[in-house]
Structure 1
Amino acid sequence: MLAIIFIVSIAKMPEILPNINKLHFIKTANIIDGKKVAQDIQKELKTQIETWIKQGNRRPCLIAILVGEDPASQTYIEKKMAASREVGIESKTIKLPVTSKESEIIDEIQKLNKDDSVDGILVQLPVPEHVSERHVCNAVDPLKDVDGFHTTNIGKLTLNSDTFIPATALAVLELIKRYNIPTFGKNIVVCGRSKNVGLPITLLLHSDAKNELPGGEATVTLCHRHTPPEELEFFAKHADIIISATGVVNLIKSHMVKRGACIIDVGITRITTKDGKTKLVGDVDFEGVSKVAEYITPVPGGVGPMTVAMLMSNTLKAAQHILKKNSA
């Protein structure tokens, strides 16, 4: 009986072979390893900084201001300070009480603006509710604004002029470049319109590559909380690249992603698992989407480490720009 079945199967092969190419085999997406790329960038920066110092320049200096004792903010600051030490940037955190008045925070910033030994200034966000985030960000000297949040730097970004790019947006762009993911003429969906992440990413990817700040030459659709779910799904299904930065868990699911797309997950949300433990997750259903996409970033280990690395890059850039201005 077994022999007969085998013969029949062979006889059916001519019918089966033409259809093999139509089958979709499950393939796990290539992981975009932000942690590895961040380590590579920090090694490059360390070499550049040591060369900079050997040329007779002082060591770049980054000062962070932390208002209050928010645990997440403290963790982010610690990571930034550790990265500074790793690449050879002098760094310090100024801690202010949560009750600090807006005028007191701005006074501290103004002191740093006038300090010629300081190259980069960042105010860890969010600030307390009684403090205006915009007033505080605009108090930082645009030449020392390594976060890229000052109105002047955001304005330059809209005009594709060379400026400080917000670190998370720069992280996304750098990952796309280092993994050789094409953007020219591609459809890109950005979920989230924040002025620190979603909007800068959109500005970088849609613009002309011939500008002073080269753009990605893509067609970019910017979606946000008021985009109807069915419209988001429509746009996502036609996207070659999806970048999500909303903090909405499982916003992007496998049925919304076309095969072969690139998925950049910027979202970070801490959830409690069934066993009572906590873990970080992104906006993307990683398990499902990784079976459809060609490239995908994990959370954690994707955009997060890259954001810190690009902040270090901005700090070196600030030192170089300040030297150029003082030498003019």
Structure 2
Amino acid sequence: MVAVGLTTQGQDGRPDSLLPKLQAIRAAGADAAEIALYDLDVVAGGRPLERQFARVLEIASEFALRYSVHGPIASNPWDLRHREIHEAVAAAHLTMAGRLGAGIYVQHSGRTVHATGPELAALRAQERDFLRRLGDLAGRMGVTVVVENLFGERPGDLTQLPHEVAEQVAEVDHPHVRVLIDFSHAYQEATRRGVDAWASVRQAAPLTAHLHVHDSFGRTATMLGHTRSETVAFGMGDLHLPPGWGDIPWEMLFGELRFLPGTIANVELPARYAEHAPEVVAQVRAMVGLGR
């Protein structure tokens, strides 16, 4: 573990909006920032918008932070219908990650609904081909692609736990493709399936180069509150709570897990919890054993 980071937040699309976000991340005492390029209008129809991205480069250069880049949330290697645009959009964002000097590019793993065994095997094979091509580009850009585990919410949803992502990454066998463990996503998906989340995480750890840290109760969102605060009160869904607000056993996990050298613990903290950012950064730094 080399750093604790925070993710940039906000969805107005303006490159200039990155400046106050990075200022806030630095003020919170973080060592790293995960730039949510999916929140910025820097790609259109799979093509880079160079003038827009130039401003992002200019702003990022003002800060002495380790950067990672989160690619599009909707990116899905199992979506064969839109395969070409998925690849073009991922390549555009990954190239930008390299130009930003980011060491890590976050790619979501595949998900679908109601696939048979042979269909699922074909989708996983397609994902491996996609990751090999992305890995080749990442190698040219000096970036490592990390594949993030997701979660399902409805009957018939199919997605991958951390150990299943690790199986894909091991079979891809590319030096620039590794695993990203999202602990809360793993908790929710494992609870939905009735399996042990932390056993899956343990299996994936040796191939893991990046972490997403946020808390929850591992409950599928089978109901929603009238307000976001009510949903938090019921403890349902992907809450992105500050660590300690949910019941993920952080001390146990960080006490026993070992990841690849250079791993960053990035806290995906929503803007509604921004006031807690300094204490969260200090807390996570202590949990992962990083001094100042």
TM bin (shorter chain): 0.3 to 0.5
Q: TM-score, normalised by structure 1?
A: 0.31
**Larger Rg, first or second structure (1 or 2):** 1
Q: TM-score, normalised by structure 2?
A: 0.34
